[in-house]
């Protein structure tokens, strides 16, 4: 009896000192009701899209990767939507696309650098302006037209355009054969650009010989309207 009373007294003292002994509760693996999904990782800056190869690794600090990738994809979509002949679009897809974050307005937003590919300054890209096309057309002239930049037909068309004095002497399209070809071809294919000759309709009106030459080159003679 004395031993039982001692045990009871000891238990009462333990409760008074630390409270009732804790009882472990089962842990249920139930997610919070309003838990946000994990953030998607940023897109890769070296990627392939619709058969094109893009290296935008130099733009990592220029702007968010999502913005860069979206802008470049939009430029590719513009070119893919031009209904170019298989051999021409195949040539263009084979050109490496290199991107950087330069903002110098003196630089073309899209240009061709022999031995490297087409260079895009991604911070200046506009989804409605075919900067990639401009660079690709320069690449096409260099690598596919007889004589490259010295192509005799392009030189003759450029001299004829300069002689008619329709465009200012300072017009970029008159400053070199590569600029003449890339800008007139961009206006012909895309329909409207921000420099001379501005639109397909303007090109057809002011440079009918060039307009038909481009139709022969890109569309088998059946000119776009």
What are the tens digits of pLDDT across the range 136-152? 999 999 999 999 999 99
Q: Are residues 97 and 159 part of one domain?
A: no
Last residue within a domain, chosen from 132, 166, 186: 132
Question: Quick check: 42 and 66 in contact, CB under 8 A?
Answer: yes
Model confidence pLDDT, tens digit, residues 101-135: 999 999 999 999 999 999 999 999 999 999 999 99
Q: Are residues 74 and 126 part of one domain?
A: yes
Structural domain of 124: 42-132
Residue closest to 186 by CA, chosen among 220, 222, 139, 123: 139
Rounded to 5 degrees, φ, ψ at 103 are -120, 5
DSSP letter at 64 equals -
Residues whose CB is less than 8 angstroms from the CB of residue 212 and which lie 6 or more positions away in sequence, other chains included: 221, 223
Residue closest to 96 by CA, chosen among 136, 44, 151, 43: 136
Q: Does 31 reside within a domain?
A: no
Burial call 36-75: b when 16+ CB within 10 Å, e when fewer: eeeeeeeeebeeeeeebebebeebeebeebeebbebbbeb
What value does the mean pLDDT take over residues 76-100?
Answer: 98
pLDDT at 10 over 80: no
Say how many CA atoms lie within 13 Å of 219 toward its Cβ. 15
pLDDT at 7 over 90: no
Q: Does 3 reside within a domain?
A: no
| Domain total in the chain | 2
Q: Are residues 222 and 151 part of one domain?
A: yes
- Say if pTM beats, i.e. exceeds, 0.85: no
Last residue within a domain, chosen from 75, 107, 132: 132
Report pLDDT for 40: 80
Higher pLDDT, 222 or 13: 222
Question: Quick check: 197 and 187 in contact, CB under 8 A?
Answer: yes
What value does the mean pLDDT take over residues 75-91?
Answer: 98
Question: Quick check: 140 and 149 in contact, CB under 8 A?
Answer: no
Count of residues for the chain? 225
Last residue within a domain, chosen from 93, 111, 132: 132
Residue closest to 161 by CA, chosen among 191, 197, 135: 197
Torsion sign, CA atoms 93, 94, 95, 97: positive
């Amino acid at each position: 009896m004395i031993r039982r009373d001692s045990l009871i007294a000891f238990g009462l003292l333990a409760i008074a000192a630390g409270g009732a002994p804790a009882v472990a509760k089962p842990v249920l693996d139930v997610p919070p009701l309003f838990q946000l999904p994990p953030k998607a990782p940023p897109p890769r800056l070296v990627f392939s899209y619709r058969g094109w190869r893009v290296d935008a690794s130099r733009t990592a600090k220029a702007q968010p990767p999502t913005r860069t990738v979206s802008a470049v994809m939009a430029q590719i979509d513009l070119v893919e939507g031009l209904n170019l002949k298989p051999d021409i679009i195949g040539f263009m897809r084979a050109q490496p696309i290199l991107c950087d974050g330069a903002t110098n307005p003196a630089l073309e937003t899209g240009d061709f650098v022999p031995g490297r590919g087409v260079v895009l300054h991604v911070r200046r890209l506009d989804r409605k302006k075919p900067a990639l096309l401009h660079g690709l057309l320069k690449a096409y002239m260099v690598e596919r037209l007889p004589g490259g930049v010295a192509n005799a037909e392009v030189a003759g068309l450029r001299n004829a355009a300069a002689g008619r004095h329709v465009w200012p002497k300072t017009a970029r399209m008159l400053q070199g054969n590569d600029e003449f070809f890339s800008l007139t071809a961009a206006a012909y294919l895309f329909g409207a650009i921000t420099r001379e000759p501005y639109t397909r309709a303007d090109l057809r009106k002011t440079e009918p010989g060039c307009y038909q030459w481009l139709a022969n080159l890109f569309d088998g003679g059946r000119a776009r309207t």
